[in-house]
Amino acid sequence: MPKHSNQRWFIDPAAIMQIKSLTLRAKTIVEGFTAGLHRSPLHGFSVEFAEYRPYVIGDDPRNLDWKLLARTDRYYVKQYEDETNRRCYLAIDQSRSMAYGNGSITKAQYAQTLAATLAYYLHLQRDAIGVMTCGTQSSEFLPPRHRHGHLQQLMHLLEQESDGRDSNLAEGLTRLAGLSKRRGLVVLISDLLTDPESLFQPLGYLRGRGHQVLLLRVLERGEIDFQLPASSMVRDMESGRELYVDPEQARQDYRRRFQTHERQLIDICHRRGARLYTVTIDQPLDMALLELISTAGQMSGSRPVSQHASRQSANNAASPQARRP
Amino acid sequence: MGLLAPLYALAALALAGPILFHLIRRQPRGEVSFSSLMFLSTSPPRLTRRSRLDNLWLLLLRMLALLLIAIAFMRPFLRQDQFLNTTLAGRHIVLLIDTSGSMQRSDVWTDAQRLATEVLGDLSLADRVALYSIDRELTALLPLDDLGNTAPDATQHAAKEAMLQLEPTWQSTELAEGLKSLADLIVSQSISDSLPPGTKHEVVLITDLHSGVRLEGLQGFAWPENINLDVRQALPAQAGNAHLSLLQAADAGPSQSTTDGRPVAVGSATAALRVRVENDSDAQGTTLQLSWADADGPLPGRATGLQIPPGQVRVVPLGERPPSADRIVLQGDAWDGDNTLYLVQPIRTTRQIVFCGTSQPLPEEDLSYFLKQAPLSSELVMREVVAVAANELPTRLESPETCAVVLEPTAAVLEQSAAIQRFADLGGVALLCLSRPALEDRNGVAGMDDLARFLRDLLQEPNLSVSEGATEDFSLLAKIDFTHPVFAPLSDPRFNDFSKLRFWSHRQVALPAESEVRTVASFDNRSPLLLEARRGKGRVWVLTAGWQPTASNLGLSTKFVPILMGLVDPQNSRRPSQLSYAVGDTIEVSDPQQVVVTTAQSEPVDQGQVVRHGQSIELRRPGLFWLQEGDVRRQIAVQVPVSESRLVPLDVAQLEQYGIAVGQLDSDVRRRESVRQMQREELESKQRLWQWLLVACLVVLVVETWLAGWQSR
């Protein structure tokens, strides 16, 4: 496992942003990331056997294990995993505030690349990936699929320029909750510069649908500790409102309010059973991906069978008798 | 150096502006975009910690420009004392004080006196003051024509003393007439003083100017343009007044009214009384109380509560008058002065009309038939017709003051000649109606010779002769003396058409050319119809035609009753018919100097309250009074004029609608100040220093612009 402190193991985000093609960028990161893993992600999944249970009247006779009936003269029904492929919904915040950056890259570029990387990684795992853009007047939704050309379509959608102004994440998430028919993993990539309370209800909708929710917060370091060079008029990127700010006077206050906001976010995520993970745009992307995958792995504990764990259990299921009653 | 508009010095406060702007450091260096302002709040502009002013020269120039503009607006000028001498000519000021009944409100009168003192205090030592009061008429207290001969301060002193001694009366306000008279007085005085035309005159009117003041009289009056009227309105502490008036009971006969419209307060004892109560539109309260009262105050248990919203009228039936009550009192409004309505118990006298004559088979042919039908009674005099036989005449005719006699010349009547003559001598009124042709022994009518003899004795005219009048068809009245009291009421052109009166038969009485007997009316054949002869204290009428339908249509005519009234009761028009008056109304009496006026409690009235004229008197305060004329004693009620009860204050601008020049009288200080101001303005407009100041300001601004540009390079 790579360590966070060891920067040279990871690729500099500014350097990776030099690659123009989003697909290539994602591929570079994922392949670099998987080079250190023992197991290749290129292995696919199969339909998984779960267990036997006695036949009761009303069961479909097609599910009877005829071979077992022939062998033991008892009626058993084979049970399988309901769905083995994970559905992942990527919700990308495209509001104007995401256009803020550190000069070399913006939060939006970072979020775009992160989303593409994640999508590519999951695509390699044969998971179905859907994308929804939030924070624009015309949010777009690409339902999760795993088919030929879907990844290109997805990359194309992510590459589109945003025309958003005021991010209305709550509305976007509520809409996603309505559109997602089957449960899966919802990853929201946003700076979450909005009223935390407004997220409480949409997160509830998503959790109510059975989704696992991961909030991936992308920030610029200047937003955390508020660094401005001198007294100046500060213009809100979303509303266009202007404010005269003296950084020396405002810094303490800003930090205090920012931390309060963060605490509120953590609290709401805790109450709704969602995970919050904050990355800054100077962090390497593959490190962020690693964090993400490990977080997703922890979260999948709530599911009956996780993706990696199911692969192992598939091997164990070779002898059904072991679980026979 | 003087300043014309020193208040503009406040504009110099604007100098603080540039200093503040120079101290404030708020120069954002460009604009920075930030993802969200949700964690930021605006920082207040800061002054530099060192409090040091930068760009001192620029600051000074800007302040100098502002200062120059401020000074230019103050319009400075250089004083030149020879221009600023003020000597004011003295004025003639007429102080006119309303002393009508509504000024009896103590707070209003106090306010009026305060206003008058204020006016007198504001005058300069050179001003002369004339003082007049106005109520029902204009009264000169310090007349205009004496002013020229008196020292100014003496007139002011005298005016102040007279004003302090002045007291309000109870009379109505004839403001329009008063103002007109005063304007005429001022104009005639200025002509007699040979003042140049257009000389300004000042009149200060101190009044409460309420809605009862009749200003309509000013309509059409050309108010002199050079008379300025300053109206100072004295107002009560508490607005709103209610007043009451008596409505005649339905069965009390024809209504009478005083001269200003308030119905009389006769109030017969048995009839149910109705009272009209009106609450002024500016009244504060709505709860009023009406009660019967006597001299000691309201009678217990006889009060009626009323709820009258402001501006509304209620008619209240009060029922029969309690025996001891002599007034109705209203309680609960702002002013109690006009709240008493005095009631008089009428004394009805009875007069008999004794008729003695023939009796006819047809009742309408009887003279007494029309006599009895005629409505001769009035509210104060009851007249009853009594038909008697001739032999009863001597006993009936013993009291000539209380009866009149109507006679037909029957033989039996002629026999009572002595009794009739004595009756007339003692002051009785006898009407001899020659109603039928004098045929011997027919219907008992006396013969012509007897009749002539009777008439000669009665009229004391020995050369009189009587014959049957020659009438072809009918006779008309040709000559009527309309100056005679009998026909005077009918002298108006609406009533003086006698051409429809026709006489089919009449007697002809021939009088000598110079006779004491007066012919009041005569036929077209010059034969007299009505003769009047004075005899002793009484008088004798001879009517040469009857009023029964076969003789004439006089009895059916509308003129019958007034003529008959004049004949049988010649004193009637002189007898007072009125029992209730307003303060200031003329009360007709036979001998004003001998009339004794006492109050209801028989106490003598202060002589100042009784004004005696040639044929009448006036009473100057409300109340119940007894008038004693010889043996006759009668009670009258004197009410507060109803116009003095309508007390909603009028707007002074209403006087302007009648073309009166209303304006404020300038006090001495203000006059001096305005003259000085005019002189200053003149001086300033000659010097025009403000223009130079503005030029200097422009120069400073040019330098400032240049300096600012140079520094920013």
The pLDDT tens digits for B319-333 are 888 888 888 999 988
- Strand order across the beta sheet in which B340-342 lies: B297-307, B287-294, B327-331, B340-342
Confidence band, pLDDT 50/70/90 cuts, at residue B361: confident
Please name the residue of chain A whose CA is at the shortest distance from the CA of residue B39: A254
Do the beta carbons of residue A274 and residue A214 sit within 8 Å?
yes
Nearest-by-Cβ selection for B36 from A193, A230, A231: A193
Please name the residue of chain B whose CA is at the shortest distance from the CA of residue A166: B36
B161-178 average pLDDT score: 92
Interface probe for A, chosen from B27, B40, B48 (most Cβ of A below 10 Å), is: B40
Structural element, H or E, at residue A153:
helix A150-159
CATH number of B580-642: 2.60.40
In angstroms, the separation between the Cα of residue A263 and the nearest Cα of chain B is 14
Handedness of CA B111, B115, B120, B121 (dihedral sign): positive
What is the per-residue pLDDT for A268?
93
Q: Measured between alpha carbons, how far is residue B688 from residues B406, B685, B694 in Å?
A: 102, 5, 11
Residue A63: count of CB within 10 angstroms of its CB: 12
In angstroms, the separation between the Cα of residue B30 and the nearest Cα of chain A is 6
What is the per-residue pLDDT for A238?
78
pLDDT at B624 over 80: yes
- Which residues make up the CATH 3.40.50.880 domain(s) of chain B? 349-574
Token match 């010349």: residue?
B409
Nearest-by-Cβ selection for B29 from A191, A232, A249: A232
C-alpha span between A225 and A242 (Å, rounded): 20
CATH number of B349-574: 3.40.50.880
B599-612 average pLDDT score: 85
A152 touches B: beta carbon within 8 Å: no
What is the per-residue pLDDT for A290?
77
A250 touches B: beta carbon within 8 Å: yes
Question: Does the domain spanning A19-36+85-304 belong to CATH 3.40.50.300?
Answer: no
What is the per-residue pLDDT for B267?
45
Residue, of B632 and A38, whose pLDDT is higher: B632
Nearest-by-Cβ selection for A237 from B34, B41, B42: B34
CB contact under 8 Å between B39 and A241, yes or no, is: no
Handedness of CA B234, B235, B237, B242 (dihedral sign): positive
Query: Which chain B residues are within 8 Å of A237, Cβ to Cβ?
Result: 33-36
- Which residues make up the CATH 3.40.50.410 domain(s) of chain A? 19-36+85-304
Nearest-by-Cβ selection for A245 from B33, B40, B46: B40
Confidence band, pLDDT 50/70/90 cuts, at residue A231: low
pTM for the model stands at: 0.50
B353-373 average pLDDT score: 89
Mean pLDDT for chain B?
85
User: What pLDDT, in 10s, does the model give residues A237-259?
Assistant: 877 787 877 777 788 888 899 99
Q: What is the dihedral of CA B425, B427, B428, B434, to 10 degrees?
A: 50
- For chain B, list residues whose CB is within 8 angstroms of any CB belonging to chain A: 26-43, 45-46
Q: Measured between alpha carbons, how far is residue A148 from residues A40, A117, A143 in Å?
A: 21, 18, 14
Query: Which chain B residues are within 8 Å of A228, Cβ to Cβ?
Result: 32, 34
Please name the residue of chain B whose CA is at the shortest distance from the CA of residue A262: B39
User: What pLDDT, in 10s, does the model give residues B543-597?
Assistant: 999 999 999 999 999 999 999 988 888 776 666 667 788 888 888 887 888 888 8
Query: Which chain A residues are within 8 Å of B35, Cβ to Cβ?
Result: 97-98, 100, 107, 191, 193, 220, 223, 237-238
What is the per-residue pLDDT for B27?
55
CB neighbours of B263 closer than 8 A, spacing ≥ 6? B245, B246, B247, B248, B255, B256, B257, B580
Q: Which of A156-165, A269-278, B79-88, B653-662 is predicted with the least confidence, judged by mean pLDDT?
A: B79-88
A95-103 average pLDDT score: 84
B392-405 average pLDDT score: 84
pLDDT at A156 over 50: yes
CB contact under 8 Å between A239 and B31, yes or no, is: no
What is the per-residue pLDDT for A11?
66
CB contact under 8 Å between B37 and A228, yes or no, is: no
In angstroms, the separation between the Cα of residue A222 and the nearest Cα of chain B is 10
Interface A–B counts its CB contacts (< 8 A) at: 80
What is the per-residue pLDDT for A138?
65
| Residues of chain B above pLDDT 70, percent | 91
Nearest-by-Cβ selection for B35 from A97, A249, A261: A97
Confidence band, pLDDT 50/70/90 cuts, at residue B712: confident
Query: Which chain A residues are within 8 Å of B47, Cβ to Cβ?
Result: none
Q: Measured between alpha carbons, how far is residue A184 from residues A44, A144, A176, A297, B444 in Å?
A: 18, 10, 12, 13, 148
User: What pLDDT, in 10s, does the model give residues B34-69?
Assistant: 888 888 877 665 555 555 677 788 889 999 999 999
What is the per-residue pLDDT for A80?
65
Query: Which chain A residues are within 8 Å of B41, Cβ to Cβ?
Result: 243, 250, 253
A224 touches B: beta carbon within 8 Å: no
A100 touches B: beta carbon within 8 Å: yes
pLDDT at A4 over 90: no
In angstroms, the separation between the Cα of residue B711 and the nearest Cα of chain A is 24
First-to-last alpha carbon distance for chain A, in angstroms, is 41
A64 touches B: beta carbon within 8 Å: no
Query: Which chain A residues are within 8 Å of B46, Cβ to Cβ?
Result: 246
| Residues of chain B above pLDDT 90, percent | 30
What is B92-235+655-665's CATH superfamily? Answer: von Willebrand factor, type A domain (3.40.50.410)
What is the per-residue pLDDT for A319?
35
Q: Measured between alpha carbons, how far is residue B277 from residues B241, B244, B338, B339 in Å?
A: 11, 4, 12, 10
Q: Which of A54-58, A113-117, B79-83, B339-343 is predicted with the least confidence, judged by mean pLDDT?
A: B79-83
What is the per-residue pLDDT for B82?
65
C-alpha span between A187 and A160 (Å, rounded): 19
- Which residues make up the CATH 2.60.40 domain(s) of chain B? 242-341, 580-642
CB contact under 8 Å between B41 and A237, yes or no, is: no
CB contact under 8 Å between A100 and B38, yes or no, is: no
Residue, of A313 and A232, whose pLDDT is higher: A232
CB contact under 8 Å between A253 and B39, yes or no, is: yes
User: What pLDDT, in 10s, does the model give residues B428-462?
Assistant: 899 999 988 865 445 556 678 888 888 898 888 88
Query: Which chain B residues are within 8 Å of A257, Cβ to Cβ?
Result: 38-39
CATH number of B242-341: 2.60.40
Handedness of CA A231, A235, A236, A237 (dihedral sign): negative
A40-61 average pLDDT score: 64
Please name the residue of chain A whose CA is at the shortest distance from the CA of residue B36: A236
What is the per-residue pLDDT for A316?
37
Query: Which chain B residues are within 8 Å of A236, Cβ to Cβ?
Result: 34, 36-37
B197-217 average pLDDT score: 88
The rounded Cα B544 to chain-centroid distance in angstroms is 48
C-alpha span between A54 and B500 (Å, rounded): 143
- Which residues make up the CATH 3.40.50.410 domain(s) of chain B? 92-235+655-665
Confidence band, pLDDT 50/70/90 cuts, at residue B300: confident
DSSP string of B242-284? EEEEEEPPTTS-S--B-TTSPBP----SSSPEEEEEEE-TT-S
C-alpha span between B675 and B246 (Å, rounded): 58
pLDDT at A161 over 60: yes
Residues within 8 A of B (CB atoms), A 168-207 only: 191, 193
pLDDT at A42 over 80: no
CB contact under 8 Å between B28 and A231, yes or no, is: yes
Helix and strand numbers (H, E) in chain B are 14, 35
Q: Considering only CA atoms, give the Rg of chain B.
A: 43
CB contact under 8 Å between A234 and B43, yes or no, is: no
Do the beta carbons of residue B34 and residue A235 sit within 8 Å?
yes
Interface probe for A, chosen from B34, B42, B46 (most Cβ of A below 10 Å), is: B34
CB contact under 8 Å between A100 and B34, yes or no, is: yes
Query: Which chain A residues are within 8 Å of B26, Cβ to Cβ?
Result: 244
What is the per-residue pLDDT for B701?
95
Query: Which chain A residues are within 8 Å of B27, Cβ to Cβ?
Result: 231
